[in-house]
Amino acid sequence: MSKIHVFVGPTLPAAEVPADFVVHPPVAVGDVLRMVRARTRPGAIAIVDGYFERMAAVWHKELLHALERGIPVYGAASMGALRAAELDRFGMIGVGTIYRDYRAGRLVADDEVAVVHLPAAQGYAGVSDALVDLRYGLGLAVRAHVLGRRAADELVVAMAGRFYRERSWAAVLALARSPKLAAWHARGVPSRKTLDARLLMRRLRGREARPAQIVVPRTWAIRRFASEL
């Protein structure tokens, strides 16, 4: 039976991926095209995390080639949510709140989901926090009456104005100077990205995806790239 292949890194620990799925590092350019061209075809491809700065991000055309060959492609939480919002009209399946927010235009900036993380040997542990997670957490603080809406909005604006590598809960707490918020945060704040990734894992268990009916043009760029692989 063809297996489900999952690209994941800082958003979800590999230990939370079902044992019968195949776990890959964050997706980068060429990874999906190699998989599509391999002798053993995946049963499905699911993208959570992906590289985008120190190496090129996964091409849209790679995902379209997988869809063309009848391989279901899912996305959620991070790079997966971005690509799904861009390609769902062609058959890619988006899962979760972050995907829906990008699809609806409530989120527009790619760096909303960007984080800095450690290498594979350290389990891709994050060393910054995604703006989408900070926004979500501050919203929870407002609903818990820990913080006022205006103060939360000001903190989100301040974090949005920083380079993605400099965004973190530590930076939020330093700006807020609120012992009440710090105490609330110390009890643990869920990550919206992680919640969406977990939802994707559950969705993959009961997947009933229809193959996409698309034909992908063989542009000179994709032909050259495939030959280089």
pTM: 0.90
Same domain, 71 and 161: no
**Alpha-carbon dihedral angle through residues 28, 197, 24, 108, given to the nearest 10 degrees:** 0
Domain count, the chain: 2
Predicted confidence (pLDDT) per residue in 72-113, tens digit: 999 999 999 999 999 999 999 999 999 999 999 999 999 999
Supply the pLDDT for residue 215. Answer: 67
Phi (first) and psi of residue 95, to 5 degrees? -135, 135
d(CA 147, CA 180): 8
Q: Are residues 61 and 47 in the same domain?
A: yes
- In terms of domains, do 95 and 185 share one? no
| Position with higher pLDDT, 121 vs 23 | 23
Please determine, for residue 224, whether its predicted confidence score (pLDDT) is greater than 60. Answer: yes
Quick one: pLDDT at residue 138?
Answer: 98
In a domain, 218, yes or no: no
Does residue 17 have a pLDDT over 60?
A: yes
Residues 156 and 199 occupy one common structural domain? no
Task: Give the residue ranges of DSSP H helices in the chain.
Answer: 31-37, 60-68, 79-87, 97-104, 131-143, 149-160, 169-176, 179-186, 192-205, 220-228
Least confident of 64-68, 118-122, 184-188: 118-122
Is 64 found in the same domain as 10?
yes
Instruction: Report yes or no on 15 lying in a domain.
Output: yes
pLDDT at residue 112, as a whole number: 96
pLDDT at 39 over 80: no
Answer yes or no: do 93 and 141 share one domain.
no
- The C-alpha angle with vertex 94 and arms to 164 and 214, in degrees rounded to 5, equals 120
CA 60 – CA 205 distance, rounded (Å): 25
How far lies 190's CA from each of 33, 85, 99, 196, in Å?
Answer: 34, 23, 17, 11
Q: Are residues 168 and 182 in the same domain?
A: yes
Q: Are residues 16 and 104 in the same domain?
A: yes
- 120 in a structural domain: no
180 and 207 share one domain: no
pLDDT tops 90 at residue 9: yes
Hey, what are 117's tokens? 């993380």
Same domain, 204 and 101: yes
pLDDT at 87: 96
Domain span at residue 157 reads 131-190
| Average pLDDT over all residues of the chain | 91
Indicate whether 96 and 202 sit together in one domain. Answer: yes
Which pLDDT score, from 0 to 100, does residue 41 have?
Answer: 84
Q: pLDDT tens, 148-174?
A: 999 999 999 999 999 999 999 999 999
Do 198 and 139 fall within a single domain? no
